[in-house]
Amino acid sequence: MSDTITYSASEKRFCLRTDSTLYVIDLYDGKYPLQRYYGPAVDTLPDAFHVYRAFSPYPTEYGPGFSFDTILSEYPTFGNGDMRHEAMRVKGPDGSGVTDFVFIGFKIDAGREPIPGLPYARPDADTETLEMHMEDPVTGCVLTLRYVVFPHEDVIARSYSLRNASGGSVVLENGMSLCLDIPRADFDLTYLPGTYGSERFNTKRPLSQGCFLMDSRRGSSSHHMSPFFALSDRGASEESGRAYGFNLVYSGNFRSMVEVDQNQTTRVLTGINPDTFSWKLAPGEVFHAPEAVMTYTDKGLGQVSRNFHRFANRHLARPCGFERRPVVLNTWEGTFFNINEDRLVKYAKEAAALGIDMLVMDDGWFGTRRNDLAGLGDWWECRDLFPDGLGAFVSRVKAQGVRFGIWIEPEMVNPDSDLYRAHPDWCLHVPGRRRSESRNQLVLDMGNPDVLDYLKTTFSKTFDGVGLDYFKWDMNRHLCEVWSSSLPADRQGEAYHRYVLGVYDLADWFRTQYPDAMIEMCSGGGGRYDLGMLPYCSQIWTSDTTDAVHRTKIQSGSLYGYPASMMSCHVSNHYNVVEDEQRMEFRWRVAMGGPLGYELDPTSLSDKVKETIRAQIAEWRNCEQIVLWGDYYRLTDPLAGAVYAYCHALPDAGELYLNFLQLVPEEPKTYVLKLIAADPDAVYKDRYTGLIVTGQQLRDGFAVRSERTDQLAKAWYFVRQ
């Protein structure tokens, strides 16, 4: 085995190494894991953090020199003297939430084990795992803390499992996947709040003593707050300064918290939101937590993003299965609910002529679904629309020369549906109480095995053998009145998490049942845009906002934590822009931020626009490699000014794609864009204009002037000569 993870028995010390970082855990008295160091690889560790404080209780065997309240802890539990927020609280048979987990052993392995029922990062040949086993003698619980090291992306994944080894039941009331105590607090916090249509607007604030909470209680990770966040040196720039990044591989209610304490140390916690969670463990039962990921760099927030992009691409996202990402034509903004077989066959014919690879039939094709009032849950084709059946229609579409994809929203039910009439108890609801609707729909109890059986059987009947190439899986409301008819009263705290486990179970079924079909996730746009969905899909619909000016802000924010390859983007005709050359070009350059698609009525386009789209797709094929898989550099922030400029670079610096997107008019001024990814010793030629520049010039700054206009795109594609 390599020295990625080592244990020194004499020092009672674990060292976890990635290509550029070192993470050190010390066992205090051989019993309590302390966070000793996380930062750049060093030979000599700084002294351990140590302070005394009045009012900080101490275990009597150690005396006042050691308090859980002032140490940097690896995994603090509730009630044993640490007054900060805990990583874990377990209620034992005596009703107290106090535990005192003590180290009892460890294991270092090559590779990693899957996490049962949950998504997790796939290992590569150099991945190693440390498991530390801890025991609480009073509750009889055994806690396994897991650290999976991905050396080449500088990422460590953290999770735990908790086994009830006692004779009685215990209740897990809080279990964070990750705790990181850092011996300083002079940080800026960057995080991604938002709302429907305005997801992931990057926001920065300085930390100070107290807690800052980022969470979701909506049943999914949500439009409103992303699980991604980062801490960076105050005043750190995009490309310099120390920074830590965090994220959670989970799609349900999460809590991320940053707490600065009396000693100006910082505690980072992230995991399932304890506000909507408790989990009963009968004797012998085990709970497995989702995985959290963290990265460290001294190269600023830009490198945090690049580490996470690479990590998500290599270890989380499901490959799309096709040779390259299909350019899709999605019917939603073209037809909305007016699905009609002949019309869509025409769409397919036009799409093929434009160079589009796949027609995606959106909402409105099934049951009585002619608007959003009815039909969700009835997953069979509407025979009025498809008299010869779905299979015959798909064959007609494919005969035009495109692949075929279909929209589904498996987790939902309209009260006006055959499913609801047959099984009114299958939706989340509390007996005797109102069932609140949102978009006229209720939420199925995905934790109920009968619901999953129904969905699998019904989808299988409708879709097997039809030759579908793609699913767009939507989720168009959030959860409330959460109670499950399949759980006893003392397990209702499990309903939210069991819902997410059910979603993963069904997503896994789709992955297995239709192995050749690509999956795109969606939730009213980007409402479940998280790392937990990624192992089941290749891309996620970023936002229902297709207005390109607003989109720049959503896309720029999303790229803080998530790779371009997952950021599904469409050129739409929203605001009727396609006939306007400048606006059309702008919309396309924005939509080339991630996998490109179109969402408009292709039968209504002029020949000139059709020619433009053909050229756009051809140029996308030249750019897709660098955009989807290259390294991304933010140059300006569209939330802070008139321009969104960024650069993608191939890792060997052989090619650089620079995009300069002017959102709104301004008094012309010069932007000096430093392309630090350029090779200083190389000469580059721009593919578009023939301009010759040296790599050093690009690094020193490439000057671009803004204009007195809006929605203007300028792009350069520099190729090393």
Which residue ranges make up the site for ligand GLA (CB under 6 A)? 332, 362-363, 407, 474, 476, 522, 524-525, 541, 544
Give the DSSP H/E element, type plus range, for residue 512: helix 495-513
CB 388 to ligand GLA: min, Å = 25
CB of 170 to ligand GLA, least distance (A): 41
Nearer to ligand GLA, 371 or 709 (CB): 371
Least distance between ligand GLA and beta carbon 431 (Å): 30
Which residue of the chain is nearest ligand GLA when measured via CB?
363
| Active-site residue, from 154, 362, 469, 474 | 474
By C-alpha distance, which of 678, 688, 689, 595 is closest to 635?
678
Q: Minimum distance between the CB of residue 441 and ligand GLA, rounded to whole angstroms? A: 10
Nearest residue (CB) to ligand GLA, 376 versus 506:
376
Contact 415/408 with Cβ under 8 angstroms? no
The C-alpha atoms of residue 409 and residue 647 are separated, in whole angstroms, by: 36
In three-state secondary structure terms, 256 is strand
Q: Indicate the residue among 525 and 561 with the shorter CB distance to ligand GLA.
A: 525
Q: Among residues 332 and 660, whose Cβ is nearest to ligand GLA? A: 332
Query: What residues are paired with 15 via a beta bridge?
Result: 6, 24
**Which residue, 82 or 544, is less far from ligand GLA as judged by CB?**
544
Distance from C-alpha of 587 to C-alpha of 592, rounded to nearest angstrom: 9
Rg over alpha carbons for the chain, rounded to the nearest Å, is 26
User: For 112, how many CA atoms within 13 A lie in the half-sphere containing its CB?
Assistant: 27
Q: In terms of Cα–Cα distance, which of 13, 37, 39, 40 is closest to 27?
A: 13
530 catalytic? Reply is no
Using DSSP's 3-state secondary structure scheme, residue 621 falls into helix
Q: Alpha-carbon distance 244 to 211, whole Å?
A: 18
Comparison of 265 and 476: residue with beta carbon closer to ligand GLA: 476
Of these residues, 82, 100, 544, 637, which one is catalytic? Answer: 544
Distance CA 399, CA 7 (A): 62
Nearest-approach distance from CB 34 to ligand GLA, in angstroms: 46
As measured in angstroms, the least distance from the Cβ of 476 to ligand GLA is 5
Taking the C-alpha atoms of residue 684 and residue 692, their distance in angstroms, rounded to an integer, is: 6
Q: How is residue 252 written in tokens? A: 């349900």
Sign (positive or negative) of CA dihedral 109, 110, 114, 120: positive
| CB atoms inside a 10 Å sphere around CB 580 | 14
Cβ closer to ligand GLA: 5 or 443?
A: 443
Active site residue 474: yes
In 3D space, the residue among 501, 383, 491 whose CA is nearest the CA of residue 451 turns out to be 501
Q: In whole angstroms, how close is the CB of 363 to ligand GLA at the nearest point?
A: 3
Cβ closest to ligand GLA, residue 263 vs residue 476: 476
- Exposure pattern of 658-682 as b/e (b: 16+ CB <10 Å)? bbbbbbeeeeeeebebbbbbbbeeb
Separation between Cα atoms, residue 301 and residue 329, nearest integer Å: 34
Alpha carbon distances (Å) from 353 to 106, 405, 428, 627 = 61, 18, 46, 25
Query: What is the nearest approach in angstroms of ligand GLA to the Cβ of residue 364?
Result: 8
Q: Which residues are catalytic?
A: 474, 544
